[in-house]
Structure 1
């Protein structure tokens, strides 16, 4: 997910580890103390790395509404479907946008297109609240109000709905094209009718 962040932190951690071990070995110690310190240190390394990975994989600066709208606009413009190359374009644009707008100072908010695609899905597809038109007519006003209040994207719901609709259509178009290409290749094989 956030491989670049994990790699950077692990690299810094090992650099500090190297400095610490070098310093400890250069200090005069009781003969067995250095071995005990080394064992404790190297046993703790995997635990610290696992903790860092767990922290990084669950933390991401939440996008402000303006950045969410920009991501939605890019999804509508690019129609990336499941194309890694097009999601790479969206990710590159969003990284530039997020740095320029001050949301993050790190130029790789999205590591790549897959990371951006996963984040798009988690923001807008996994928690996609039904639009009022999709709600059953017998739903009570209280339930409807509760659905609206609990929608994290209620302020931008119209553009979310439009972007999700465009995304869904682009995915359908992509797979329809893939199926057509596969069917045409099947007819090229001898013995196929």
Structure 2
């Protein structure tokens, strides 16, 4: 593993940072830190506790079998133990590969990054988003290393899994603007006397609203990307109508 230089290992402050194109030179992703993808995977597996524990268990069982197999009952016990532990090892590796990050705060922060930066498909903004998300996972102890996503495509694919196949409504006026309008024109917007207002409380931000806005931005980026690759696509679509 290559050690990143001081310039490429500087933690970015997402709350008060310049535009992505000004800081992209200071962003180092695992694809640039490790010699190969294999070395990255091995490094991550060594730091993934379930894999380490189950792997050591299998090693101990094999060693015990090699040195202490003095009876059929003992051999049967070792075989049965390996039969149970090997699938557990395979399952833990599969769980690691799928990166099952179920933390809601992490997902919301990823959506906020997309909404804030409006990344283009295969754009440089995804490098900054990926770096920030890797740091977030590590700082909040959701991942054992600051290298969860290997490259920007890895992070982008994770984001696509959050929104792909879902149906969204386009965002209208924000609740903040509605509150502002109500304060500026209280006579016309206040409810009648005796009327009851209701709302649904969410512990934290409205996840579905963030998801919808981020999906809208991604759809526009996808349209712009394919429009750039095939400028005549609109004319072709009109011919097929």
**Fold similarity call, TM over 0.5:** yes
Check if 1:43 corresponds to 2:70. Answer: no
Equivalent residue number for residue 52 of structure 1: 92
Equivalent residue number for residue 142 of structure 2: 104
**1:91, 1:16 → 2: CA distance?**
34
**2:76, 2:123 → 1: CA distance?**
49
Structure 1 residue corresponding to 2:226, chosen from 155, 172, 175? 175
Displacement after TM superposition at 1:96 (Å): 1.0
**2:60, 2:230 → 1: CA distance?**
57
**1:110, 1:42 → 2: CA distance?**
32
> Is contact 1:153-1:160 (8 Å) kept?
no
Structure 2: 5+ residue runs without aligned partners? 1-40, 173-197, 232-241
Check if 1:154 corresponds to 2:193. Answer: no
Check if 1:63 corresponds to 2:104. Answer: yes
| More helix, by proportion | 1
1:1-193 pair list within 5 angstroms: 4=44, 8=48, 9-27=50-68, 29-30=70-71, 32-53=72-93, 57=98, 59-64=100-105, 67-75=106-114, 76-77=116-117, 79-81=119-121, 83=122, 87-100=126-139, 102=140, 104-106=142-144, 107-131=146-170, 154=206, 157=209, 159-179=210-230
What's the TM-score once normalised by structure 1's chain length? 0.57
Structure 1: 5+ residue runs without aligned partners? 134-144, 181-193
Displacement after TM superposition at 1:91 (Å): 1.9
**1:22, 1:156 → 2: CA distance?**
52
Displacement after TM superposition at 1:149 (Å): 8.8
> Is contact 1:87-1:117 (8 Å) kept?
yes
Secondary structure of 1:117's counterpart equals helix
Secondary structure of 1:164's counterpart equals helix
**1:52, 1:170 → 2: CA distance?**
35
Secondary structure of 1:120's counterpart equals helix
What's the TM-score once normalised by structure 2's chain length? 0.48
Secondary structure of 2:104's counterpart equals coil
Question: Displaced runs of 4+ in structure 1, greater than 6 A?
Answer: none
> Is contact 1:72-1:163 (8 Å) kept?
yes
> Is contact 2:170-2:213 (8 Å) kept?
no
> Is contact 1:63-1:103 (8 Å) kept?
no
